[in-house]
Amino acid sequence: MSPSYLAQDPTLADFGRDPWWLVLGKIVFAFAFGLLATLLGVWFERRVVGYMQVRPGPNQVGPFGLLQTLADGLKMAFKEDILPKAADKVVYFFAPTISVICAVTALSVVPFGPMVSIFGHHTPLQVTDVPVAVLLLLACSSMGVYGIVLGGWASGSTYPLLGGLRSSAQMISYEVAMGLSIVAVFMTAGTMSTSGIVAAQGDGTELSIFGQTIPAPGWYAILLLPSFIIFFIATVGETNRAPFDLPEAESELVAGFMTEYSSLKFALFMLSEYVAMVTMSAVTTTLFLGGWRAPWPITIWEGANSGWWPMLWFFGKVIALVFVFVWLRGTLPRLRYDQFMRLGWKVLLPINLVWILVLSGLRSIEDWDTRGKVIAVGIPAGILLIASILWPSRRPKPKPTTQEQVDNRPHGSFPLPPMDLQVPPSPRITRVVAEREPANIVAGSDSREV
């Protein structure tokens, strides 16, 4: 790696030296990126889901329907703002803004690019960075749920309260799995700084396996694949996106925590959902997909990771992750609440703990040759172990038929309705048919007509 290439990576010492107008410009850029990405994200989701469902999607307002989201925002602004009688007015008003502010604040420590020159000032394309920047991201993700909980509680209604409580349980369950996934990133990168994590993913390392030296990939999505998968699943759960959109389940909670909201407050809740989706996509890109660094075929070009080009690679990765969010919504049905909680506590959490233990053991081995041998032997052995555990040892019993289930019910249990969903004929109707049957036969009519 050439010295000119390394010079493009910002460090913590490069922050805090910019003039006030440059810092203000970065803040405005990060805020505008969040809002503009939200407007385009709503349009993008409608178009992609429309394509999946073989329909056009929005295509009338503006070219390709690009102004449809703006038109919807204006329509919401002119709707009547309803305040429930039993609502806590102060909390009811500020709850939507909490969710939006927390989602946008997380963008302040996300690196959009390397060191660039702006009007003669050599500065990183990032608002700021601190030694514990990833903890700030976790804090923003955790605080965002307070807007949903307070919005559901302050509405003074049953369905919003249930949606808010669901959201708090959802945050507790999946915040643990998300934090453990980031622990693997800390252990590998050796820093909690977002710019340092991106720089660590650009350092090409080599593994010696059975005497053969091979290049190791730099992206943590490949090196830490279990952590990446668990982190992204937890991200979907944290952002209340399908199939984990249980706090706003229409089938049982009408609209969940947003039931009593209208006009601009309702629009702020919708905005916070999409801002959180874009923000978490940017965080996932930073932690696991190399941040602003170009993917492999483009890295052949020496200038791929210098100048303003890295912003293009960063936005491309974010759009790809947003597409996965939309893909999940258009493909998977909503989980039941018990299935959702079981996935977080009984599946993701144990797998994450075991993976952290294995990763700690590998990092404790100083000899790279020994570590490579352990990896080469351990991965197939782990796959075989998991397959042996999950592989059914015997043929499952055939599922009893409906009639067998009815016949085997305990004696004295409550009477069951007919399993074929056909209501038995009423005795009165049967008697009337029997009385009229001779007359119908004489008249030549069907005896089934009553």
pLDDT in tens, 45-60: 999 999 998 898 888 8
- What are 104's two structure tokens? 């946008």
- At residue 367, does pLDDT exceed 70? no
> Is 278 in a helix, a strand, or coil?
helix
Q: What is the pLDDT of residue 210?
A: 46
Q: What is the mean pLDDT of residues 247-260?
A: 73
Q: Which residue has the higher pLDDT, 447 or 77?
A: 77
Q: Report the alpha-carbon distance of residue 220 to residue 293 in Å, rounded.
A: 13
% of the chain surpassing 70 pLDDT: 78
Q: Which residue has the higher pLDDT, 320 or 335?
A: 320
Q: What is the mean pLDDT of residues 234-246?
A: 83
Q: Give the contacts of 437 (CB within 8 A, at least 6 positions apart).
A: 447
Q: What is the pLDDT of residue 448?
A: 45
Q: What is the mean pLDDT of residues 252-270?
A: 79
Q: What is the pLDDT of residue 7?
A: 46
Distances (CA, A) of 4 to 7, 113, 198, 209, 391: 5, 16, 17, 31, 53
Q: What is the pLDDT of residue 366?
A: 61
Q: What is the mean pLDDT of residues 160-177?
A: 83
CB 201 within 8 Å of CB 9: no
Q: What is the pLDDT of residue 72?
A: 87
Q: What is the mean pLDDT of residues 395-403?
A: 74
Q: Please give the full DSSP string across 362-400, using - where no structure is assigned.
A: HHT---HHHHHHHHHHHHHHHHHHHHHHHS-SSPPPPPP
Q: What is the pLDDT of residue 2?
A: 39
Q: Report the alpha-carbon distance of residue 329 to residue 430 in Å, rounded.
A: 51
Q: What is the mean pLDDT of residues 350-374?
A: 75
Number of C-beta neighbours around residue 254 at 10 A: 17
Residue 205 has phi, psi (to 5 degrees) of -110, 165
Q: What is the pLDDT of residue 270?
A: 81
Closest of 241, 146, 134, 218 to residue 181, by C-alpha: 134
- At residue 212, does pLDDT exceed 60? no
Q: What is the pLDDT of residue 422?
A: 61
Q: What is the pLDDT of residue 377?
A: 61
Q: What is the pLDDT of residue 28?
A: 92
Q: pTM score, two decimals?
A: 0.78
Mean pLDDT of the chain: 80
- At residue 167, does pLDDT exceed 90? no
pLDDT digits (tens, 9 = 90+) for 68-84: 888 888 888 888 878 88
Helix (H) or strand (E) holding 317: helix 309-331
Number of C-beta neighbours around residue 418 at 10 A: 9
pLDDT digits (tens, 9 = 90+) for 98-140: 888 888 888 999 999 898 988 888 889 999 998 999 988 888 8
Q: What is the pLDDT of residue 112?
A: 92
CB 182 within 8 Å of CB 141: no
- At residue 437, does pLDDT exceed 80? no
Confidence label for 12 from pLDDT (cuts 50, 70 and 90): confident
Q: What is the pLDDT of residue 420?
A: 57
Q: Which residue has the higher pLDDT, 231 or 398?
A: 231
Helix (H) or strand (E) holding 288: helix 263-288
For residue 284, the one-letter residue type is: T
The number of residues in the chain equals 450
Q: Which residue has the higher pLDDT, 141 or 249?
A: 141
Q: Report the alpha-carbon distance of residue 366 to residue 186 in Å, rounded.
A: 18
| Mutual angle of helices 263-288 and 309-331, in 10-degree steps | 120
Distances (CA, A) of 176 to 38, 142, 172, 357, 380: 27, 11, 7, 16, 28
* 320 Rama sector, left if φ>0, alpha if ψ -120 to 50, beta otherwise: alpha
- At residue 214, does pLDDT exceed 60? no
